[in-house]
């Protein structure tokens, strides 16, 4: 099979990005988790195939590494059409987009990753292309400029964004189907890990899979990455045998804690607690203090910390919850965010 050959050569070259690509599921039925999105998408694709028409444009939103690129590839495969991949930041001028749109073949899927980062003129050209399968090529400058309409082949746009809120409404409204990708449950990540282990030729006992899944921040890309680190550790220190303890030791070495927090997550919490007394503090101040871009903190660290109940976004800024103080081995002040919840839980524990 093609994917297995890809994997063997990727392994031989030791290229992590190639390995990641080779681990991608190729068909919708192989795609693990996101049951609702899968079912909705399957309906959209099947009805398009029955009508022999390209499906509605699809928007996928969710944190990095949840499988948006993978799903876009699956959409093209299921439809039996070619896929063109680009990204918002690459579309700086309308001409960049026109060059792609005018060369699409009938029914082709155009995947635009980070679509919220597309430049304004390209975005406006996309509105017309999505609605009427037409672009206006502007010839000349100033008052003498004229727009020459150019028909393009009907295509399906698949847009991916980590920040759906940043998409202008006219663009958002032109997508017929919006797939909200959520973090994965631990059991789903265990399945992802078992599938990847099979493809990589690794033995992964159930309890070791659980240990890795629990530290993967609900994200398949991270699960696969941690699996490779555990494999490295097992090869060098445990004669290639992966056990729960080997997995835990490897992940501790790579500074991924039992709840899945990595260095950046802990840096954010550490600064928030130790330097700002738990907050509230603004995003940019927090980002400067950890030496990262605000977008990295907002897109990569925060959604997970919020989901874990360790951080809250309030109108006055970011606030650490009482659970965050405890997770970082500190005593929460009595007025810490969510302290009453933690106190109630502690009471229940003591009374039970």
* Shortest Å, Cβ 180 to ligand ATP: 12
**Residue selected from 100, 160, 167, 268 as contacting ligand ATP according to rule CB under 6 A:** 160
Are 225 and 250 in contact, with CB atoms under 8 Å apart? no
Our finding on whether 301 is near ligand ATP (CB under 6 A) is: no
CA distances from 84 to 72, 128, 275 (A): 10, 19, 47
* Shortest Å, Cβ 309 to ligand ATP: 24
What is the distance in angstroms between the CA of the first residue and the CA of the last residue of the chain?
Answer: 56
Our finding on whether 117 is near ligand ATP (CB under 6 A) is: no
**Residue selected from 197, 216, 224, 321 as contacting ligand ATP according to rule CB under 6 A:** 224
Are 191 and 32 in contact, with CB atoms under 8 Å apart? yes
The CB-side HSE value for 228 (13 A sphere, CA atoms) comes to: 15
Are 72 and 99 in contact, with CB atoms under 8 Å apart? no
Q: Which residues pair with 113 in a beta bridge?
A: 87
Our finding on whether 197 is near ligand ATP (CB under 6 A) is: no
How many residues does this entry show for the chain? Answer: 352
Q: Is 229 annotated as a binding residue?
A: no
Q: How big is the site for ligand ATP, counted in residues (CB under 6 A)?
A: 20
Site string for ligand ATP, 54-73 (x = CB under 6 A): ----------xxxxxxx---
Q: Is 318 annotated as a binding residue?
A: yes
Residues known to be catalytic: 68-69, 113, 162, 221
Angle value at C-alpha 171, between 166 and 172, nearest 5 degrees: 70
- DSSP, residue by residue, 294-307: HHHIIIIIHHHHHH
* Shortest Å, Cβ 11 to ligand ATP: 14
Residues near ligand ATP, by CB under 6 A? 20, 23-25, 31-33, 64-70, 113, 160, 192, 220-221, 224
Q: Which amino acids are annotated as binding site, given as ranges?
A: 23-24, 65, 68-70, 131-133, 174, 184, 221, 313, 318
């Amino acid at each position: 099979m093609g994917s297995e050959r890809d994997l063997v050569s990727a392994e031989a070259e030791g290229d992590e990005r190639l390995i990641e690509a080779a681990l991608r599921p190729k068909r919708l039925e192989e795609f693990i988790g996101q049951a609702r999105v899968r079912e909705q998408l399957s309906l959209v694709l099947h009805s398009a195939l029955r009508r022999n028409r390209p499906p509605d444009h699809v928007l996928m939103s969710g944190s990095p590494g949840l499988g948006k690129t993978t799903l876009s590839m699956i959409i093209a495969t299921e439809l039996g059409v070619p896929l063109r991949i680009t990204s918002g930041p690459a579309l700086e001028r309308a001409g960049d987009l026109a060059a792609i749109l005018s060369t699409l073949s009938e029914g082709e899927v155009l995947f635009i990753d980070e679509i919220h980062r597309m430049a304004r003129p390209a975005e406006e050209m996309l509105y017309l292309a999505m609605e009427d399968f037409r672009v206006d090529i502007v010839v000349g400058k100033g008052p003498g400029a004229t727009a020459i309409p150019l028909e393009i082949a009907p295509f399906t746009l698949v847009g991916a964004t980590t920040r759906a809120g940043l998409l202008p409404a006219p663009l958002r409204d032109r997508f017929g189907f919006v797939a909200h990708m959520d973090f994965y449950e631990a059991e789903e990540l265990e399945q992802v890990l078992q599938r990847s282990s099979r493809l990589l030729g690794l033995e992964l006992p159930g309890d070791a899979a659980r240990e890795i899944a629990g530290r993967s921040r609900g994200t398949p890309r991270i699960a696969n990455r941690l699996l490779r680190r555990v494999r490295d550790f097992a090869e060098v220190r445990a004669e290639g045998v992966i056990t729960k303890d080997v997995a835990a030791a490897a992940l501790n070495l790579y500074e991924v804690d039992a709840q899945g927090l990595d260095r950046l997550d802990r840096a954010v919490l550490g600064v928030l607690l130790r330097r700002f007394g738990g907050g509230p503090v603004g995003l940019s101040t927090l980002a400067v203090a950890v030496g990262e871009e605000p977008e990295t903190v907002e897109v990569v660290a925060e959604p997970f910390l919020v989901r874990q109940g360790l951080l809250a976004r309030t109108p006055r800024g970011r606030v650490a919850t009482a659970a965050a103080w405890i997770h970082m081995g500190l005593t929460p002040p009595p007025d810490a965010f969510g302290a009453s919840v933690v106190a109630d839980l502690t009471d229940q524990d003591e009374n039970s």
